[in-house]
Amino acid sequence: MIDHPSTARWRGVKSAGLLFAVTSWAWGCGALNPAFVALIDPDGTTVSTIQNAPGHVVIQFVNKAEVDERLLSFLESSEGGNLQLTEAEKRVLRPFVRFRVQVTFRNGVVQQFEIVEGSSNLVDQNFAAQSEPDLSQNPRDDAVVICDVTRVELIPGSEVEVFIPAQLTVYRQETVTNPAGGQQLTFTPVERIDPQFRPLELDDVDEDNDVILRRNVGIRNTVVPVADPLCGSVIGIVMSGTLTVPFLDGVDDSPSYDQDDETTEATIGGRFEFLVTVQ
């Protein structure tokens, strides 16, 4: 994770002491942006009458994605790890997501930071501690940076990644001779892919932007850059969709796919949309 010293962070700001520190930081120089007030004081009971300088830009990630019921049922099974969730926990279950954001300022300074957000109880904690440090650290779904900002975007060359919480088995279809002397098709396992973060890929399109191969994200539904946001703006990155994995018919009930099935392989991880808003 890369953080500039001037980047401030708040998560679920509910402490009166912390809220006092935030509002005191820019006391007496103008009105707070309503979207910023909604972020740090959703009840409107603490800072509604406080004046504040709009010398900041808030970047907020909102995860509205869901987890596919078949995948969840597998994770709850003995084969999938005996995941135990209450009905309340299931209702708020969210895929684990990470991506890196770059903020460019008018003076040429660049800040980079990582968003990591999702339901930690979706992931086997023994696995998380051993192989994926991002899964065991404190979540981060927002950041506040100082003006003047000229551009907010994903770090060039980087991607949004979603965590696949189950092992995937890759099969190869083969023709074998049965005891009676006839031939039949069968699937043979050739690879097992451990739980891991997987990049969400854009659809393959032709020169007319017609979809050739459907993947995880449509070309019009990705995270778009924001140019020249006003001081006091709140930039929202909203993710919706469903985390899914394939289940190959004719084999066991665990997540799996045919190595020659390009269409199925392309959609591993699910289908998602991103909406970028500026308030």
Residue 223 lies in a domain: yes
pLDDT at position 185 is 82
Does residue 256 contact residue 248 with C-beta atoms inside 8 Å? Answer: yes
Is the confidence at residue 166, as pLDDT, over 50?
Answer: yes
Q: What is the CA radius of gyration of the chain?
A: 23
- In which band, very low, low, confident or very high, does the pLDDT at 25 lie, cut at 50, 70 and 90? very low
Residue 139 lies in a domain: yes
The C-alpha atoms of residue 128 and residue 23 are separated, in whole angstroms, by: 36
Is the confidence at residue 143, as pLDDT, over 60?
Answer: yes
Residue 159 lies in a domain: yes
DSSP class of 52: B
How much is the average pLDDT of 5-17?
A: 39
Token pair listed for 209:
């932007």
Comparing C-alpha atoms, which of 71, 123, 126 is closest to residue 254?
A: 71
* Residue range of the domain that includes 94: 16-163+198-242+274-278
C-alpha atoms less than 13 angstroms from C-alpha of 84 in its C-beta half-sphere = 0
Report the range of poorest mean pLDDT among 114-118, 138-142, 176-180: 176-180
The C-alpha atoms of residue 148 and residue 57 are separated, in whole angstroms, by: 9
Number of Cβ within a 10 Å radius of residue 271: 19
Residue 151 lies in a domain: yes
Residue 91 lies in a domain: yes
DSSP class of 133: G
Token pair listed for 240:
């919706």
Asked whether the bond before 43 is cis by omega within 30 degrees of 0, the reply is: no
Comparing C-alpha atoms, which of 269, 266, 273, 268 is closest to residue 220?
A: 273
The C-alpha atoms of residue 215 and residue 139 are separated, in whole angstroms, by: 27
pLDDT at position 246 is 97
As for how many domains the chain has, the answer is: 1
Residue 9 lies in a domain: no
The C-alpha atoms of residue 136 and residue 126 are separated, in whole angstroms, by: 10
pLDDT at position 134 is 67
Number of Cβ within a 10 Å radius of residue 42: 11
DSSP 178-245: -TTS-EEEEEEEEEEE-SEEEE--BPEE-TT--EEE--SB-TTSS---EESPPTT-EEEEEEEEEE--
Residue 65 lies in a domain: yes
3-state secondary structure at position 35: helix
Q: Amino acid identity of 225?
A: P
pLDDT at position 125 is 56
Tens of pLDDT, residues 205-229: 999 999 999 999 999 999 999 999 9
Residue 170 lies in a domain: no
pLDDT at position 213 is 97
Residues present in the chain in total: 279
How much is the average pLDDT of 229-253?
A: 95
Tens of pLDDT, residues 123-136: 765 555 455 666 76
Instruction: Report strand pairing: 161-164 vs 196-199.
Output: antiparallel
Tens of pLDDT, residues 57-87: 999 999 999 999 999 999 999 888 888 889 9
In sequence order, the 6+-apart residues with CB closer than 8 A to the CB of 231 are 54, 55, 56, 57, 147, 148
pLDDT at position 192 is 95
pLDDT at position 20 is 34
